[in-house]
Protein backbone atom coordinates (compact mmCIF):
# COMPACT_ATOMS: atom_id res chain seq x y z
CA UNK A 1 0.00 0.00 0.00
CA UNK A 2 1.70 3.32 -1.02
CA UNK A 3 2.28 5.85 1.74
CA UNK A 4 -0.14 8.78 1.70
CA UNK A 5 1.75 11.87 2.91
CA UNK A 6 0.39 14.71 5.01
CA UNK A 7 0.56 17.82 2.85
CA UNK A 8 1.41 21.08 4.63
CA UNK A 9 1.17 24.54 2.99
CA UNK A 10 3.03 27.58 4.35
CA UNK A 11 2.02 30.86 2.67
CA UNK A 12 2.69 34.53 3.37
CA UNK A 13 4.52 37.53 1.94
CA UNK A 14 7.89 37.26 0.26
CA UNK A 15 10.63 37.13 2.95
CA UNK A 16 8.08 36.61 5.73
CA UNK A 17 10.04 33.57 6.94
CA UNK A 18 8.28 30.70 5.13
CA UNK A 19 11.51 28.90 4.15
CA UNK A 20 12.99 29.44 7.60
CA UNK A 21 9.93 27.87 9.22
CA UNK A 22 10.05 24.90 6.82
CA UNK A 23 13.81 24.41 7.31
CA UNK A 24 13.46 24.61 11.10
CA UNK A 25 10.74 21.95 11.03
CA UNK A 26 13.01 19.68 9.00
CA UNK A 27 15.86 20.23 11.48
CA UNK A 28 13.76 19.67 14.56
CA UNK A 29 11.52 16.83 13.42
CA UNK A 30 12.98 13.60 12.05
CA UNK A 31 14.21 14.78 8.68
CA UNK A 32 13.65 11.47 6.89
CA UNK A 33 9.93 11.99 7.43
CA UNK A 34 9.87 15.44 5.82
CA UNK A 35 10.39 16.95 2.37
CA UNK A 36 10.20 20.65 1.50
CA UNK A 37 9.19 22.04 -1.89
CA UNK A 38 9.20 25.73 -2.82
CA UNK A 39 6.40 27.17 -4.93
CA UNK A 40 9.16 29.10 -6.72
CA UNK A 41 10.14 25.80 -8.40
CA UNK A 42 6.89 26.07 -10.35
CA UNK A 43 7.57 29.43 -12.03
CA UNK A 44 6.69 28.95 -15.69
CA UNK A 45 9.42 28.23 -18.21
CA UNK A 46 10.65 31.48 -19.78
CA UNK A 47 13.21 30.11 -22.23
CA UNK A 48 11.35 31.76 -25.12
CA UNK A 49 11.94 35.23 -23.58
CA UNK A 50 15.11 37.35 -23.64
CA UNK A 51 16.68 38.41 -20.34
CA UNK A 52 15.33 41.97 -20.86
CA UNK A 53 11.82 40.53 -21.28
CA UNK A 54 12.11 38.20 -18.26
CA UNK A 55 12.92 41.14 -16.00
CA UNK A 56 9.50 42.58 -16.87
CA UNK A 57 7.53 39.47 -15.75
CA UNK A 58 5.23 40.00 -12.77
CA UNK A 59 6.54 37.22 -10.49
CA UNK A 60 3.98 37.98 -7.81
CA UNK A 61 0.90 37.37 -9.97
CA UNK A 62 -0.70 33.89 -9.87
CA UNK A 63 -0.33 33.64 -13.68
CA UNK A 64 3.48 33.48 -13.32
CA UNK A 65 3.24 30.10 -11.60
CA UNK A 66 2.28 26.74 -13.11
CA UNK A 67 -0.36 25.85 -10.55
CA UNK A 68 -1.72 23.12 -12.87
CA UNK A 69 1.56 21.23 -12.58
CA UNK A 70 1.61 21.85 -8.84
CA UNK A 71 -1.93 20.47 -8.51
CA UNK A 72 -0.97 17.40 -10.52
CA UNK A 73 2.07 16.89 -8.24
CA UNK A 74 0.02 17.28 -5.06
CA UNK A 75 -2.45 14.68 -6.33
CA UNK A 76 0.39 12.31 -7.30
CA UNK A 77 1.97 12.63 -3.85
CA UNK A 78 -1.41 11.84 -2.28
CA UNK A 79 -1.50 8.67 -4.35
CA UNK A 80 1.96 7.70 -3.08
CA UNK A 81 3.78 8.53 -6.33
CA UNK A 82 7.16 10.30 -6.64
CA UNK A 83 7.26 13.61 -8.52
CA UNK A 84 9.87 15.44 -10.63
CA UNK A 85 10.00 19.01 -9.31
CA UNK A 86 11.49 21.64 -11.65
CA UNK A 87 14.41 23.70 -10.35
CA UNK A 88 14.49 27.49 -10.68
CA UNK A 89 17.43 29.88 -11.04
CA UNK A 90 16.58 33.41 -9.85
CA UNK A 91 19.69 34.90 -11.46
CA UNK A 92 18.39 34.01 -14.96
CA UNK A 93 14.68 34.20 -14.05
CA UNK A 94 14.12 30.74 -15.49
CA UNK A 95 13.87 27.02 -14.86
CA UNK A 96 17.05 25.03 -15.30
CA UNK A 97 17.16 21.76 -17.25
CA UNK A 98 17.38 19.77 -13.98
CA UNK A 99 14.51 18.33 -11.97
CA UNK A 100 14.52 17.02 -8.40
CA UNK A 101 12.86 13.76 -7.44
CA UNK A 102 10.62 14.09 -4.39
CA UNK A 103 9.24 10.88 -2.95
CA UNK A 104 6.08 10.83 -0.84
CA UNK A 105 7.67 11.11 2.63
CA UNK A 106 5.38 11.12 5.67
CA UNK A 107 5.09 14.91 5.50
CA UNK A 108 5.58 17.08 2.42
CA UNK A 109 5.79 20.82 3.09
CA UNK A 110 5.12 23.32 0.30
CA UNK A 111 6.07 26.95 0.96
CA UNK A 112 5.18 29.89 -1.29
CA UNK A 113 3.50 33.27 -1.59
CA UNK A 114 0.47 32.18 -3.66
CA UNK A 115 -0.31 28.68 -2.36
CA UNK A 116 -3.76 29.54 -1.01
CA UNK A 117 -5.02 31.62 -3.96
CA UNK A 118 -6.06 28.82 -6.31
CA UNK A 119 -8.98 26.92 -4.66
CA UNK A 120 -8.09 23.54 -6.21
CA UNK A 121 -4.50 23.82 -5.02
CA UNK A 122 -5.24 25.06 -1.51
CA UNK A 123 -7.75 22.32 -0.76
CA UNK A 124 -5.04 19.68 -1.26
CA UNK A 125 -3.24 20.81 1.92
CA UNK A 126 -4.11 19.01 5.13
CA UNK A 127 -2.61 21.86 7.18
CA UNK A 128 -2.43 25.49 6.07
CA UNK A 129 -0.17 28.03 7.83
CA UNK A 130 0.16 31.75 7.05
CA UNK A 131 3.20 33.79 8.11
CA UNK A 132 1.93 37.14 9.34
CA UNK A 133 5.14 39.18 9.37
CA UNK A 134 4.91 43.00 9.05
CA UNK A 135 5.59 44.13 5.47
CA UNK A 136 8.33 46.60 6.42
CA UNK A 137 10.28 43.76 8.06
CA UNK A 138 9.72 41.60 4.96
CA UNK A 139 11.07 44.37 2.72
CA UNK A 140 14.23 44.79 4.79
CA UNK A 141 14.83 41.03 4.79
CA UNK A 142 14.10 40.75 1.09
CA UNK A 143 16.57 43.54 0.28
CA UNK A 144 19.33 41.75 2.19
CA UNK A 145 18.47 38.29 0.86
CA UNK A 146 18.01 39.24 -2.80
CA UNK A 147 21.27 41.21 -2.92
CA UNK A 148 23.28 38.50 -1.13
CA UNK A 149 21.69 35.34 -2.59
CA UNK A 150 19.63 36.16 -5.67
CA UNK A 151 22.07 38.26 -7.71
CA UNK A 152 20.13 41.55 -7.42
CA UNK A 153 20.98 45.19 -6.69
CA UNK A 154 19.19 47.57 -4.32
CA UNK A 155 17.60 49.67 -7.07
CA UNK A 156 16.03 46.65 -8.83
CA UNK A 157 14.71 45.17 -5.56
CA UNK A 158 13.07 48.48 -4.61
CA UNK A 159 11.51 49.16 -8.03
CA UNK A 160 10.14 45.59 -8.25
CA UNK A 161 8.78 45.94 -4.74
CA UNK A 162 6.88 49.15 -5.60
CA UNK A 163 5.64 47.96 -9.01
CA UNK A 164 4.56 44.37 -8.31
CA UNK A 165 5.55 42.81 -4.97
CA UNK A 166 3.54 45.14 -2.73
CA UNK A 167 0.45 45.55 -4.99
CA UNK A 168 0.20 41.78 -5.61
CA UNK A 169 0.57 41.15 -1.89
CA UNK A 170 -2.39 43.43 -1.28
CA UNK A 171 -4.48 41.97 -4.12
CA UNK A 172 -3.79 38.23 -3.73
CA UNK A 173 -1.60 37.16 -0.82
CA UNK A 174 -3.01 39.08 2.13
CA UNK A 175 -6.65 38.11 1.29
CA UNK A 176 -5.59 34.44 1.06
CA UNK A 177 -4.75 34.38 4.80
CA UNK A 178 -8.45 33.72 5.48
CA UNK A 179 -7.89 30.19 4.17
CA UNK A 180 -5.20 29.37 6.74
CA UNK A 181 -5.79 27.08 9.72
CA UNK A 182 -3.15 28.91 11.75
CA UNK A 183 -1.80 32.46 11.42
CA UNK A 184 1.79 32.77 12.66
CA UNK A 185 2.81 36.22 13.90
CA UNK A 186 6.48 37.33 13.98
CA UNK A 187 7.69 34.80 11.44
CA UNK A 188 9.99 31.81 11.42
CA UNK A 189 11.46 32.22 14.92
CA UNK A 190 8.12 32.11 16.75
CA UNK A 191 8.99 29.38 19.25
CA UNK A 192 5.49 28.71 20.54
CA UNK A 193 4.01 28.45 17.04
CA UNK A 194 6.87 26.13 16.08
CA UNK A 195 6.24 23.83 19.05
CA UNK A 196 2.48 23.71 18.34
CA UNK A 197 3.11 22.84 14.70
CA UNK A 198 5.64 20.13 15.66
CA UNK A 199 3.16 18.60 18.11
CA UNK A 200 0.42 18.55 15.47
CA UNK A 201 2.68 17.03 12.82
CA UNK A 202 3.99 14.41 15.27
CA UNK A 203 0.42 13.46 16.15
CA UNK A 204 -0.41 13.02 12.46
CA UNK A 205 2.78 11.03 11.77
CA UNK A 206 2.33 8.59 14.63
N1 LIG B 1 12.33 35.68 12.49
C2 LIG B 1 13.41 36.02 11.77
N3 LIG B 1 14.40 36.74 12.33
C4 LIG B 1 15.47 37.11 11.62
N5 LIG B 1 15.67 36.82 10.30
C6 LIG B 1 14.72 36.10 9.70
C7 LIG B 1 13.54 35.66 10.38
N8 LIG B 1 12.77 34.99 9.51
C9 LIG B 1 13.43 35.00 8.34
N10 LIG B 1 14.60 35.65 8.45
C11 LIG B 1 15.57 35.91 7.36
O12 LIG B 1 14.89 36.69 6.36
C13 LIG B 1 15.20 36.25 5.05
C14 LIG B 1 13.92 35.81 4.35
O15 LIG B 1 13.39 34.68 5.04
P16 LIG B 1 12.85 33.42 4.23
O17 LIG B 1 12.58 32.34 5.20
O18 LIG B 1 13.76 33.11 3.07
O19 LIG B 1 11.49 34.06 3.67
P20 LIG B 1 10.46 33.49 2.61
O21 LIG B 1 10.73 32.04 2.41
O22 LIG B 1 9.12 33.77 3.25
O23 LIG B 1 10.64 34.32 1.37
C24 LIG B 1 16.20 35.11 5.21
O25 LIG B 1 17.49 35.65 5.05
C26 LIG B 1 15.98 34.62 6.64
O27 LIG B 1 17.13 34.05 7.19
O1 LIG C 1 12.71 35.26 -11.19
C2 LIG C 1 12.16 35.62 -10.13
C3 LIG C 1 11.26 34.79 -9.44
C4 LIG C 1 10.70 35.22 -8.26
N5 LIG C 1 11.02 36.43 -7.77
C6 LIG C 1 10.42 36.87 -6.49
O7 LIG C 1 10.45 35.81 -5.55
C8 LIG C 1 9.41 36.02 -4.60
C9 LIG C 1 8.88 34.69 -4.10
O10 LIG C 1 9.87 33.98 -3.42
P11 LIG C 1 10.01 34.09 -1.81
O12 LIG C 1 11.06 33.04 -1.51
O13 LIG C 1 8.68 33.74 -1.25
O14 LIG C 1 10.45 35.46 -1.47
C15 LIG C 1 8.31 36.80 -5.30
O16 LIG C 1 7.92 37.89 -4.48
C17 LIG C 1 8.96 37.28 -6.61
O18 LIG C 1 8.88 38.68 -6.74
C19 LIG C 1 11.89 37.25 -8.44
O20 LIG C 1 12.17 38.39 -8.00
N21 LIG C 1 12.44 36.81 -9.61
Quote the ligand 2 centre to 45 CA distance (angstroms): 14
Per-residue model confidence (pLDDT) at position 185: 93
Res. 204 pLDDT band, cuts 50 70 90: confident
Quote the ligand 1 centre to 38 CA distance (angstroms): 14
Least confident of 62-66, 84-88, 113-117, 190-194: 190-194
- Is residue 15 part of an annotated ligand binding site? yes
Per-residue model confidence (pLDDT) at position 205: 81
Which ligand lies nearest to the CA atom of residue 59 in the structure?
A: 2
- Is residue 16 part of an annotated ligand binding site? yes
CA proximity to 14, closest of 198, 187, 193: 187
Long-range contacts of residues 69-77, Cβ cutoff 8 Å, at least 24 apart: 69/42, 70/39, 70/42, 70/110, 70/121, 71/118, 71/120, 71/121, 71/124, 74/7, 74/110, 74/121, 74/124, 74/125, 75/124, 77/5, 77/7, 77/102, 77/104, 77/108
Burial (CB count within 10 angstroms: exposed 0-12, middle 13-18, buried 19+), residue 184: buried
How many other CB atoms are found less than 10 A from the CB of residue 50?
Answer: 8
For residue 76, CA distances in Å to 7, 20, 82, 115 come to: 12, 26, 7, 17
Per-residue model confidence (pLDDT) at position 188: 75
Per-residue model confidence (pLDDT) at position 33: 82
Is the Cβ–Cβ distance between 37 and 102 less than 8 Å?
A: yes
pLDDT greater than 90 at residue 78: yes
What atom of ligand 2 comes closest to residue 13's alpha carbon?
A: 13
- What single DSSP character describes residue 46? -
Per-residue model confidence (pLDDT) at position 2: 57
Per-residue model confidence (pLDDT) at position 146: 95
Least confident of 28-32, 174-178, 184-188: 28-32
**Protein residue with its CA nearest to atom 20 in ligand 2:** 59
Q: What's the rounded Cα separation, in Å, for the pair 149 and 90?
A: 9
Is the Cβ–Cβ distance between 43 and 64 less than 8 Å?
A: yes
- Is residue 18 part of an annotated ligand binding site? yes
Average pLDDT over residues 72-83: 97
Per-residue model confidence (pLDDT) at position 34: 92
Res. 14 pLDDT band, cuts 50 70 90: very high
The pLDDT tens digits for 150-168 are: 989 999 999 999 999 999 9
Beta strand 83-89 with 94-102 is antiparallel
Q: What's the rounded Cα separation, in Å, for the pair 148 and 34?
A: 28
Give alpha helix (H) positions in 65-187: 67-78, 119-122, 135-149, 154-160, 166-168
Residue 43 Cβ contacting ligand 2 at under 6 Å = yes
Res. 12 pLDDT band, cuts 50 70 90: very high
- Is residue 159 part of an annotated ligand binding site? no
Per-residue model confidence (pLDDT) at position 186: 84
Average pLDDT over residues 22-48: 92
Instruction: Kindly list the protein residues whose Cβ atom lies closer than 6 A to any atom of ligand 1.
Output: 12, 14-20, 111, 141, 145, 187-189
Which ligand lies nearest to the CA atom of residue 141 in the structure?
A: 1
pLDDT greater than 80 at residue 1: no
**For the whole model, what pTM was predicted?**
0.97
Amino acid sequence: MPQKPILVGIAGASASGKSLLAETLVEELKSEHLSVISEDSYYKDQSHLSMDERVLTNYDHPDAIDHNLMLQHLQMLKQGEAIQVPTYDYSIHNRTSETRTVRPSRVVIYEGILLFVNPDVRKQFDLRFYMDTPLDICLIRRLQRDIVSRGRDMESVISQYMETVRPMFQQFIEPSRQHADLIIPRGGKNRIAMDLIKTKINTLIN
